[in-house]
Amino acid sequence: MDKNLIKELADYTHNAEKEKREITKITAELYPELTIEEGYLVQEEVINQKLEAGHKIIGPKMGITSEAKMKQMNVDNPIYGYVFDNMVVNEGDSISIDDYIHPKVEPEIGFILSRDLEGPNVTPLDVLRSTEYVFPAIEIIDSRYENFNFTLPDVVADNTSAAGAVFGTNLKRPDALDLDVVGVTLSINGEIRNLGAGAAVLGHPANSVARLANMLSEKGEKVKAGQPILTGGITTAVRLSSGDYVSAKYGGLGDISFFVK
Ligand code: OOG
Ligand code: MG
């Protein structure tokens, strides 16, 4: 893929993100033949532009790892992107709806590794043996595409809709819980809107981290120790509105919440 085209497509999604404006998906007209591999080349350019602007990578995120998300988004394969420092929302804080296009939230389980994991052939058992902590999280996604309408290559080129993350501070050792049967409810203004269990994420959230390590190894990269890793939405994502109080309650991992102004 031509360098100029990579740059053009990266500018297309990244400018929409910076200007908080919806765009038509790349594959609609601009470049219908975009492949997943090319989507990652565009994503890499977006990541580089963010790094050049002084933003820092906090950690990787997996997406489309549950049946619920595959059906909701009409795409069928796990993907990865990156959460940056300017996306982090503290527990109990408020976000402003005007800082986003059409934000949604989804409950996730996070991992922090004690040592780097390098694929290929990383197994979920390798992941659990290399995990320092697991923690509860809420991801805020905000596709830059109209109505969250995209194909897999489009969403990869858009850094997998990454826009915000609330990393819960209730850290637990991985052997303190059976993550596949950790339940979660997602509530808006005290009303349960979605619920699920860790097993929704590729059978067990550790599978998602293994998959990430194995996908990254194709580029000669690894999953790094110490970074918070998001394993993907357990449930479908829920649209936010001004005035919302968002809370997620996890079995054995506690609660996290934030406000929308
Ligand atoms: C793409 C991002 C998917 C997840 O957890 O499944 C994702 C989207 O749904 O807009 O972060
Ligand atoms: Mg997510």
pLDDT in tens, 69-120: 999 999 989 999 999 999 999 999 999 999 999 999 999 999 999 999 999 9
Q: Decide whether any atom of ligand 1 lies within 6 Å of the 69 Cβ.
A: yes
Q: What are phi and psi of 134, to 5 degrees?
A: -120, 155
Q: What is the dihedral of CA 13, 17, 20, 25, to 10 degrees?
A: 30
CATH 1.10.3720.10 assigned to 3-260: no
Report pLDDT for 117: 98
Local structure of 195: helix, strand or coil: strand
Q: Is 255 exposed, middle or buried (0-12, 13-18, 19+ CB in 10 A)?
A: middle
Q: How far is the CA of 209 from the centre of ligand 2 (A)?
A: 13
User: What tens digit of pLDDT does each residue of 132-151 get?
Assistant: 999 999 999 999 999 999 99
Is the CB of 110 within 6 Å of ligand 1?
Answer: no
pLDDT of residue 133: 98
Query: Distance, CA 106 to ligand 2 centroid (Å)?
Result: 6
pLDDT in tens, 7-41: 999 999 999 999 999 999 999 999 999 999 999 99
Token pair of 35, please?
């492949």
C-alpha count within 13 angstroms, C-beta hemisphere, residue 259 = 5
Mean pLDDT, rounded, for 155-173 = 98
| C-beta 164 within 6 A of ligand 1 | no
* Coil vs helix vs strand at 16: helix
DSSP state of 118: -
- Residue 76: what pLDDT? 87
Q: Which residues contact 68 (CB under 8 A, 6 or more apart)?
A: 196, 200, 233, 234, 235, 236
Ligand 1 geometric centre to CA of 176 (Å): 28
Task: Please tell me the distance from the alpha carbon of residue 146 to that of residue 40, in angstroms, as a whole number.
Answer: 20
Mean pLDDT, all residues of the chain? 97
Instruction: Please return the burial class of 4, using the count of CB atoms within 10 Å of its CB with bins 0-12, 13-18 and 19+.
Output: exposed
Closest ligand 1 atom, CA of 79?
A: 3
Residue of 67, 77, 101, 106 best suited for mutating to test ligand 1, as the one with most atoms within 8 Å of CB? 106
pLDDT single digits (tens) 38-69: 999 999 999 999 999 999 999 999 999 999 99
Letter for the amino acid at 258? F
Secondary-structure percent of the chain, ordered helix, strand, coil, rounded to 5: 35, 30, 35
For ligand 1, is residue 160 a contact (CB within 6 Å)? yes
Please state the domain extents for the chain: 3-260
Q: What is each CA distance from 120 to 91, 131, 225, in whole angstroms?
A: 35, 18, 17
Which pLDDT score, from 0 to 100, does residue 253 have?
97
